Amino acid sequence: MEPLFAVLVGALFTVAFYLFLSKHIIRILMGAAILSNGVNLLIFTAGRVTREVPPVIGHDADVLSASAANPLPQALILTAIVIAFSFFAFLLVLGFRTFQKLETDRSDEMRLAEPVSEPSPPVGY
């Protein structure tokens, strides 16, 4: 099962980095969401994917058995999902406000710091 998840993590990372190279803001935001899902799957896969023994300590034991799933990555992933969703919501609002202000979603057309109407600075002296 882990090799399948490793291939899926690689595919998610590849798609995320491809979307990050786009010039459209919405594609960059989708790349951030896909990258966070890929990282969550990577952490989940690293934490031993087993279904046989749940991560519960029995009455007669003091520690978790070695064949049980590790509960720490599962808890980290639950926290990371909430953080990634709130981060994506913030980026979505930021991208929408940028679109409202600049009337474009292409990053190469966002020239608020360098207006097109002003003359270019001197190239050399």
- Cα(53)–Cα(70) distance, rounded to whole angstroms? 10
Assign residue 97 the CATH number of its domain. Answer: 1.10.287.3510
On whether residue 22 sits in a domain, the answer given is yes
The SS3 call for residue 87 is helix
On whether residue 121 sits in a domain, the answer given is no
Local confidence pLDDT in tens for the 125 residues of the chain: 788 999 999 999 999 999 999 999 999 999 999 999 999 999 888 876 666 677 777 788 888 777 777 778 888 899 999 999 999 999 999 999 999 988 888 988 887 666 667 777 778 77
The SS3 call for residue 24 is strand
What total number of domains does the chain contain?
Answer: 1
On whether residue 40 sits in a domain, the answer given is yes
On whether residue 125 sits in a domain, the answer given is no
Give the number of C-alpha atoms closer than 13 A to the C-alpha of residue 117, restricted to the C-beta side. 1
CB 30 within 8 A of CB 19: yes
On whether residue 114 sits in a domain, the answer given is no
Residue range(s) defining the domain that contains residue 6: 2-53+68-107
